[in-house]
Amino acid sequence: MNYIDHHAHMVSRTTDDYAHMALTGCVAVTEPAFWAGWDRSTVEGMEDYFRQLVDFEPKRAAQYGIRHYAWLGMNPKESDNRELSRQVLARLPKLLDGPGVLGVGEIGMNRVTRNEIATYTDQIALAAERRDLVLIHTPHLEDKHKGTRVTIDVLERYPSLPRGRVLVDHAEEHTIEMILDHGFWAGLTLYPQTKVSAQRAVDMIERFGPDRILVAGACDWGPSEPVAVPKFIMEMRRRKHSDALIHEIVFDNPVRFLSQSPKFQRPAGTPEPARVGS
């Protein structure tokens, strides 16, 4: 079954991972900017990383028939550095106009500090002004609910940013309803640690339905799986869900959300989504 992984940190993966994803049906990935495993010290270093996302990774993915897109922004973990964040944000508008860049992301909070909130707010204001798509990271573990609440509070200040153009990622059982009730898209991150298992993700879809829900592996430097979405598909099939429903979640829903950017192209040879999303 064809699928799209909307949150995959491919700079941290080997080329073999692209091959495995292609063999399991991946036709496109979108890669949000994130922490590199250490705090970067200069805006030039950040811009070099952005060039890797926009220039190099699409070529690596294309070798396996996978279309690669990027998101650019000041990531949550380094956004506490206000001086560096301001420098990055000054360069961001021009970079967001680059080929294959879908919008602002991943932005948000790590420890929900005052500086993180300020940097996040600056980037939401930029996205609202440009009417960009937005991909938001919500904190892990004990800060999840608080961080999601603050995330939404800031978004509520910008009614000019359509809610359907915002994806609030790393949702869990205690935050997904809050996200969906406010009209945003919710991302379920399939991780062996710190986020949700395939079983928990299916539980949430059985409870809340498939509308405005995306699933992704978010594979990165830590324990994670580049083929997490196929394992989710296996769990859906184990529970006797139809292939039509599974395809809606792993392919049609990403197409609906991402196609709001004129830069996103539905993979060749794939049909239009069967119905209009929320």
Predicted confidence (pLDDT) at residue 267 exceeds the cutoff of 80: yes
Residue 268 maps to a domain: no
Structure tokens at 106: 């991943």
d(CA 115, CA 109): 9
Domain CATH number, residue 33: 3.20.20.140
Residue 16 maps to a domain: yes
Read off the amino acid at residue 30.
T
Predicted confidence (pLDDT) at residue 273 exceeds the cutoff of 70: no
Predicted confidence (pLDDT) at residue 277 exceeds the cutoff of 60: no
167 strand-pairing partners = 135, 185
Mean pLDDT of 166-195: 94
Residue 57 maps to a domain: yes
Question: pLDDT tens digit string along 214-247?
Answer: 999 989 888 889 999 999 999 999 999 999 999 9
Coil, helix or strand for 117? helix
Which of the four pLDDT bands, split at 50, 70 and 90, describes residue 269? low
Residue range(s) defining the domain that contains residue 243: 3-258
- The contacts of residue 68 (CB under 8 Å, 6+ apart) are 10, 28, 29, 30, 31, 57, 58, 60, 61, 62, 100
Mean pLDDT of the chain: 95
Rounded to two decimals, the pTM is 0.94
Residue 72 maps to a domain: yes
Residue 201 maps to a domain: yes
Report which of residues 118 and 220 the model is more confident about. Answer: 118
CB 148 within 8 A of CB 138: yes
Report which of residues 36 and 249 the model is more confident about. Answer: 249
> Given CA atoms 253, 221, 79, 194 in this order, what sign does their dihedral have?
positive
Residue 271 maps to a domain: no
d(CA 29, CA 97): 19
> How many domains are there within the chain?
1
Question: pLDDT tens digit string along 10-66?
Answer: 999 999 999 999 999 999 999 999 998 889 999 999 999 999 999 999 999 999 999
Predicted confidence (pLDDT) at residue 274 exceeds the cutoff of 80: no
d(CA 255, CA 237): 22
